[in-house]
Amino acid sequence: QHLGLSAATASQAAAAPAAVPSSPEISQANLQGLATLASLGNSS
């Protein structure tokens, strides 16, 4: 089970950085969304 979890984590870690440079608009939109959520959480 530990090997399976580490393998899944490794595959996700390998897939995530590969998807970021190919879609900078999406990643920037996600950053703006996270910043908005953070500001909303802080104001409330």
Interval 5-25: pLDDT, tens: 666 666 666 665 555 555 666
| Contact call for residues 31 and 25 (beta carbons, < 8 A) | no
Determine the pLDDT at residue 32: 83
- C-alpha to C-alpha distance for 11 and 16, rounded to whole angstroms: 9
Q: Which residue type does 27 have?
A: S
Domain interval for residue 14: 4-42
Cα gap 18→27, rounded to integer Å: 12
Q: How many domains does the chain have?
A: 1
| pTM flag (> 0.85) | no
Question: What's the rounded Cα separation, in Å, for the pair 2 and 16?
Answer: 21
